[in-house]
């Protein structure tokens, strides 16, 4: 929705002023939608004048879709971020509080939060230096170290508890999804892709979408048995769990030069093993560069301990992410018929996924041949 239409339905100035604590109603000078994400949340960049906090300041205004109205989870997440920031991780944007100490504002059936707009750019791919890689691992380790000391309140425990010994929910979830797709859903998806004549809004990209979809399904069938077997070895392994980001990837790490200036969009955070975050971030940064994976793990370990078992699990989880991410997208597009206003951006993501799936299939086949000989 263009900003002008959005303003028509929501009193943004009132929402922003509630958090900025302005002497007079805050005046929004510019409103720009950030580059569209895939979560369905509304994300607006606002420049505000006339507040107590600053003569002029930039904020991120986030509105949650109706199916995300989990007040306890959001309040707990905001408390977690405040705790991590107090522990010295300044790259974390902490939602502002209103005069009553609340970090959420209810308007038109949605929750809204306002947080500082973090400086920097998510451009590791254009300048993938060793210094940037090491600094991102250091900040992630600091985030985990602080999160491991967070004390969740009763309503928040479901998402942000600490557990000294438990199995990984992500491992179990991935195993269930691999089995579901491999045992029949992938075949049904292949038929659905073949039978679908087009998708609304995808006329220009549909031919490439269909080609990529077939490749994704073929690579999945080739790799699923091996990845599932590797993951199964960790099903009953007990690990220490604490709040983790769970969706920390290339576009959520901001840089200015070699310095990390922002670790943003923590909205998937919940109790997990740090191996999930290492898998997500390093997979998006490095793909299959084994030497740089080792370098990154060493940088992480310079801040906090990481067992060899956790480090190996990170690689296995990365493989399962590669295996399943394409199927997740095909379900969104062909089964749930979710709409996206920027099909070329989705196509670019699917190209990346297909490329990684092809490399994974090749690596697994090569490994099997070498084992046989």
Q: Provide, rounded to the nearest whole percent, the portion of the chain with pLDDT above 70.
A: 88
**371 to 67, 222, 230, 250, 318: CA distances (angstroms):** 48, 17, 15, 34, 22
Measure CA 150 to chain center. 21
Residue 103 within a domain? yes
Question: CA 348 to CA 351: how far, in whole Å?
Answer: 5
Q: 217 and 317: one domain?
A: yes
Say yes or no to pLDDT of 84 above 60.
yes
List residues bridging with 48 in a β-sheet: 28, 57
> Between β-strands 239-244 and 259-263, what pairing exists: parallel, antiparallel or unpaired?
unpaired
Q: How many domains does the chain have?
A: 3
Residue 58 within a domain? yes
The tally of CA atoms less than 13 A away on the side-chain side of residue 237 is 19
pLDDT at 29: 55
The residue count for the chain: 373
**347 to 32, 249, 280, 328, 342: CA distances (angstroms):** 24, 18, 20, 14, 9
Residue 52 within a domain? yes
Cβ burial 350-359 (10 Å sphere, 16+ → b, else e): beebbebbbe
Say yes or no to pLDDT of 1 above 50.
no
3 state DSSP class of 181: helix
Q: 130 and 185: one domain?
A: no
Residue 96 within a domain? yes
Using one digit for the tens of pLDDT, what is the confidence trace for 295-313? 999 999 999 999 999 999 9
Specify whether the CB–CB gap between 247 and 317 falls below 8 A: no
Task: Cite the DSSP H helix spans in 52-129.
Answer: 71-86
Q: In terms of residue numbers, what domain contains 31?
A: 10-116
Residue 20 within a domain? yes
Q: 225 and 316: one domain?
A: yes
Q: 296 and 312: one domain?
A: no
Q: 54 and 177: one domain?
A: no
Residue 47 within a domain? yes
Q: 89 and 124: one domain?
A: no
Residue 180 within a domain? yes
* Nearest C-alpha neighbor of 118 from the set 269, 285, 281, 255: 255
Say yes or no to pLDDT of 197 above 60.
yes
């Amino acid at each position: 929705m263009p900003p002008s239409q959005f303003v028509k339905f929501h009193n943004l100035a009132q929402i922003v002023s509630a958090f900025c604590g302005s002497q007079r109603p805050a005046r929004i000078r510019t409103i720009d939608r950030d580059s569209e994400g895939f979560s369905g949340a509304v994300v607006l960049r606002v420049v505000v004048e006339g507040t107590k906090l600053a003569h002029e300041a930039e904020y991120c205004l986030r509105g949650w879709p109706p199916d995300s109205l989990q007040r306890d989870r959001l309040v707990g997440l905001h408390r977690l971020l405040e705790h991590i920031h107090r522990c010295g991780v300044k790259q974390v944007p902490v939602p502002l509080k209103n005069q009553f100490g609340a970090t959420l504002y209810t308007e038109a059936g949605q929750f809204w939060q306002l947080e500082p707009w973090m400086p920097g750019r998510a451009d590791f791919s254009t300048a993938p230096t060793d210094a940037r890689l090491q600094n991102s691992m250091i900040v992630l380790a600091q985030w985990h170290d602080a999160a491991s000391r967070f004390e969740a309140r009763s309503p928040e425990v479901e998402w942000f508890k600490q557990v000294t010994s438990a199995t990984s929910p992500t491992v179990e979830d991935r195993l269930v999804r691999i089995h579901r797709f491999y045992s029949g859903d992938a075949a049904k998806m292949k038929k659905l892709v073949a039978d679908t004549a087009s998708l609304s809004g995808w006329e220009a990209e549909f031919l490439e979408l269909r080609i990529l979809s077939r490749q994704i399904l073929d690579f999945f069938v080739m790799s699923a048995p091996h990845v599932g077997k590797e993951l199964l070895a960790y099903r009953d392994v007990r690990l220490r769990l604490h709040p983790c980001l769970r969706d920390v990837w290339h576009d959520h790490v901001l840089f200015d030069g070699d310095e990390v200036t922002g670790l943003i969009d923590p909205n998937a955070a919940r109790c997990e093993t740090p191996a999930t975050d290492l898998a997500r971030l390093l997979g998006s940064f490095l793909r299959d560069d084994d030497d740089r994976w080792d370098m990154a793990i060493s940088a992480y370990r310079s801040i906090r301990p990481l067992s060899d078992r956790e480090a190996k699990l990170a690689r296995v989880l990365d493989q399962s992410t590669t295996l399943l991410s394409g199927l997740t997208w095909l379900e969104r597009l062909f089964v749930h018929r979710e709409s996206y206003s920027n099909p070329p951006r989705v196509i670019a993501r699917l190209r990346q996924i297909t490329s990684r799936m092809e490399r994974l299939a090749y690596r697994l086949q090569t490994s099997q041949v070498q084992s046989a000989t």
